[in-house]
Structure 1
Amino acid sequence: MRSTAAVLLVTVFTVTSFASNWPEFRGPSGDGQAGDADLPVAIDDSVVKWKTPIHGKGWSSPVVWGEQIWLTTATEDGTKMSVLCVDRKSGAIVHDKVLMENESPAFCHPMNSYATPTPVIEAGRVYIHFGSYLTACLDTANAEVIWKREDLECDHHRGPASSPILHDGKLFIAYDGYDVQYVVALDKETGETVWKKERQIDYGTNDGDRMKAYCTGHVITVNGQEQLVYPSAVATIAYDPSGGDTLWTVYHEGMNASARPLYGDGLVFITNGMGSMVAVRPDGKGDVTGTHIEWSGRKSVAKKSSQLLVDGLLYMNSDDGVVTARDPRTGDVVWQERAGGSFAASPIYAGGRIYAFSTEGDILTIKPGQDYQELAKTKLGDGFMASPAVVDDQLILRSKSHLYLIER
């Protein structure tokens, strides 16, 4: 009886811990999946529990640990970069701290912000990233800086956007800039460099504008071996996360890629930032371009937002307002629907429904399946660039100016 009770206790604790935290960009599994979270079907003012104004301009997504929500922001001109902690119960701002001041920050495209990279959080610590300007580890109890790095150089050319990820004691970050391109692993305890690998990619040009990218990596396991998959301009490289050795490389053209790669059904799905994508079998070695691309596609492929894999279909919302479902095995389009507007935020799946959030503030709720089934289309706030977070049965949305908590 004692053994059974212990197993039940561990099971309950594990499920609760998973449901109560959204630790990084696109959630605990990095793929926009929120399990059986029971969210409202229609998202509008009637289901807003609280709404908190967020100063400045920032497209970073909220991350959540327990009752704390963390996000970053910056002045529109980039002269001040800040981190905020918001109480999940009340929406009150607990911490609002300027982490860096810049007299003359580099240019940032108006579509981007100086606070676009999403933080990573774990028990007691939150890792904040402003691209080459600053990477810092903070104590979540008091927002005090534990360590920081300001020496990882890169000309982002259009502003920073790649988010860090945390795995096996290391913080992984890509710096795919106009001038240099590399991936680095930092010791999460000290911030010291564990390994740094220059991108071994033939870009086919000396034009730095065509060599930059803004992707977030993803750790997957293939045949018992971990792989750190990191898209860049022109190509994607899978590294051994322990030491940074290259496992495989696939060339797919493109530049400005920003979507997080998705892994499912034995394939890695990669969009290239220029409206096309590939599905790659990740069990190869070396240059797998000619051997392991299962399919490629161009029709209504999202340039900014990441994809979603639900019940055997691959979903995406594109920059030109088109929602698409594909067969992940072949790339064939199952259905397409013009929803209108434009999408930059990545969709989520929760409780049997898919939610998509437009830059104009439209929120689309659809039922996954072989046919397009719209359950609701509502409007909230002034538009969404950041991707959402889901904890328990609550939806946390960051609009261009506010943070919302949505609940039935």
Structure 2
Amino acid sequence: MPKRSPRRQRSRRPLEGIQLRTPSPQAQTAGTGTGTPGPGTVRWRVHVGGRVNSAPYVTDGTVYVTGRGVWAVDTADGSVRWTNADAGLTGSPTAAGDTVYASGHAPHWGTLLALDAADGRPRWLRRMNWYSTTQPLVANGLLHYVNGSRYLRTVDAATGRRRWRAKYQPRVWGTVSAPALADGILYAAAKDGTVWAFDPATGKVRWKQRIIGRLPATPLLHDGTLYVGDGLGPHVQAMDAATGAFRWRTLLDSVGSVRTTPAISGNTLYVGCQDHRLWALNATTGAVRWHVTTDGPVDSSPVVADGTVYFGSDDGHLWAISAENGRVRWKVKTGGPVRSPVVADGVLYVGSRDGYLYAIEASPAPGRPLP
């Protein structure tokens, strides 16, 4: 067997790629106007070394995002706290306590890493045979993780040691749905269109149900109902989270695919679709209420806050629309397709495939009514 090159050997070191930084000169204001900041004003933006393909994670004054590696950025001014070039692929990182968890990469295999939230240095690493493009899920001392293999894996969050694994999907190419947890049940949607419910502590199967379509998106769990998009088609389905029984199925008047996780507010479900539209459905019946059209596929999962729905489009804009009727309130243009946003303390954090992480004013100025 030929020897591996020195460069390849060096790339396996778990500490390689860590860059501890002072506040970044790339953090810059790119506001939409002057004077008192209003909704849609860009507070700052920072280049994260490569295009952003997933949602950031915000906690304790830090936003973690996957660009070229994993980046930890100060929410106040966009200064970079640290980066780790060995962690991060395309999936979102997640944080719990003083640890950040992310998928990683190395020659010929993928990795799962636990990083110190203070400086980004690895605490433990597990080598995997497949890459992951999804966000790890951490709860009750356990980390639940999926990648392109057939298994849902659960490890000890503190040590990375295996607790259990379950074979739940075929080994075929395609997108992977991240696991979801609610009310003591762990859910995973397989690439063949089967939704599984597990006991999160033991991996015991509670139920499984086949939905319409394949390559489903990550489910949304809300108030005892599981909502999931088709993945390769325009179906949206609601299931009883305890039993898997169908509550309703809606076929959108569309030729696009629903590849995103829905959002919900009140009795309205919001769903992004590759037909360039964001759809609003009755969450109880699945009936279509309205839709709003953008100039590109909506591969961004929406988020709802204070009566406004925020979502990205491949047309390069972050959109803000009325949660009641879909009326456009404002939109901000970036240099590439916009990924899924998150909202924290009145600020939107969102990545774009132009390589920037943006912090955008979400809340109206005091006393200023929304349109």
Same fold (TM over 0.5): yes
Q: Does 1:120 align with 2:91?
A: no
Equivalent position of 1:236 in the other structure: 195
Equivalent position of 2:349 in the other structure: 396
Q: Distance in 1 between matches of 2:70 and 2:326?
A: 39
Equivalent position of 1:220 in the other structure: 182
Q: Distance in 2 between matches of 1:86 and 1:118?
A: 14
1:356 positional shift: 1.8
Equivalent position of 1:61 in the other structure: 55
Q: Does 1:361 align with 2:316?
A: yes
- Structure 1: which 5+ residue stretches go unaligned? 1-39, 75-81, 101-113
Q: Could you list the runs of 4 or more consecutive aligned residues of structure 1 that deviate by over 4 angstroms after TM superposition?
A: none
Q: Does 1:50 align with 2:5?
A: no
Counterparts of residues 7-406 of structure 1 (less than 5 Å): 42-43=39-40, 47-74=41-68, 82-99=69-86, 115-130=89-104, 133-150=110-127, 152-154=128-130, 160-175=132-147, 177=148, 180-199=149-168, 208-209=172-173, 212-221=174-183, 226-233=184-191, 234-257=193-216, 259-275=217-233, 276-284=235-243, 292-299=245-252, 300=254, 302-369=257-324, 371-376=325-330, 378-400=331-353, 401-406=355-360
1:255 positional shift: 2.8
1:256 positional shift: 2.9
**Length-normalised TM-score, structure 1:** 0.72
SS in 1 for 2:146: strand
1:352 positional shift: 1.5
The one-letter amino acid paired with 2:340 is: S
1:41 positional shift: 7.1
How many equivalent pairs are there?
A: 318
Assess, with a 3 A threshold, how the Cα gap between structure 1 residues 126 and 390 changes in structure 2: closer, same or farther. same
1:260 positional shift: 2.2
Contact persistence 2:230–2:258 (CA under 8 A): yes
SS in 1 for 2:85: strand
Assess, with a 3 A threshold, how the Cα gap between structure 1 residues 41 and 332 changes in structure 2: closer, same or farther. farther
Assess, with a 3 A threshold, how the Cα gap between structure 1 residues 130 and 296 changes in structure 2: closer, same or farther. farther
Assess, with a 3 A threshold, how the Cα gap between structure 1 residues 164 and 385 changes in structure 2: closer, same or farther. farther
1:253 positional shift: 4.0
Q: Distance in 2 between matches of 1:208 and 1:307?
A: 25
Contact persistence 2:70–2:93 (CA under 8 A): no
Q: Distance in 2 between matches of 1:227 and 1:171?
A: 14
Q: Distance in 2 between matches of 1:98 and 1:84?
A: 9
Q: Distance in 1 between matches of 2:38 and 2:313?
A: 16
1:323 positional shift: 1.9
Contact persistence 1:388–1:395 (CA under 8 A): yes
Deviations 1:112-148 (A, max 9, x none): xx72211111221111113751111111112111001
Q: Distance in 2 between matches of 1:69 and 1:266?
A: 30
Q: Distance in 1 between matches of 2:80 and 2:50?
A: 14
Q: Distance in 1 between matches of 2:150 and 2:230?
A: 16
The one-letter amino acid paired with 2:79 is: A
Contact persistence 2:338–2:350 (CA under 8 A): no
Contact persistence 2:213–2:231 (CA under 8 A): yes
Q: Distance in 2 between matches of 1:239 and 1:98?
A: 34
Q: Distance in 2 between matches of 1:57 and 1:129?
A: 16
Deviations 1:268-292 (A, max 9, x none): 11113112232111232xxx5xxx1
- Structure 2: which 5+ residue stretches go unaligned? 1-36, 366-371
Q: Distance in 1 between matches of 2:327 and 2:64?
A: 34
Assess, with a 3 A threshold, how the Cα gap between structure 1 residues 121 and 50 changes in structure 2: closer, same or farther. same
Deviations 1:300-359 (A, max 9, x none): 475222111111011112112112111122211122332332211111111111112112
Structure with greater helix share of residues: 1
The one-letter amino acid paired with 1:168 is: N
Assess, with a 3 A threshold, how the Cα gap between structure 1 residues 316 and 302 changes in structure 2: closer, same or farther. farther
Contact persistence 2:57–2:64 (CA under 8 A): yes
1:385 positional shift: 4.2
1:368 positional shift: 2.0
1:42 positional shift: 4.5
CA RMSD, aligned part only? 2.2
1:375 positional shift: 2.3
Contact persistence 1:56–1:73 (CA under 8 A): yes
Contact persistence 1:117–1:130 (CA under 8 A): no
Contact persistence 1:390–1:396 (CA under 8 A): yes
1:265 positional shift: 4.6
Counting aligned pairs with the same residue, the percent is: 24
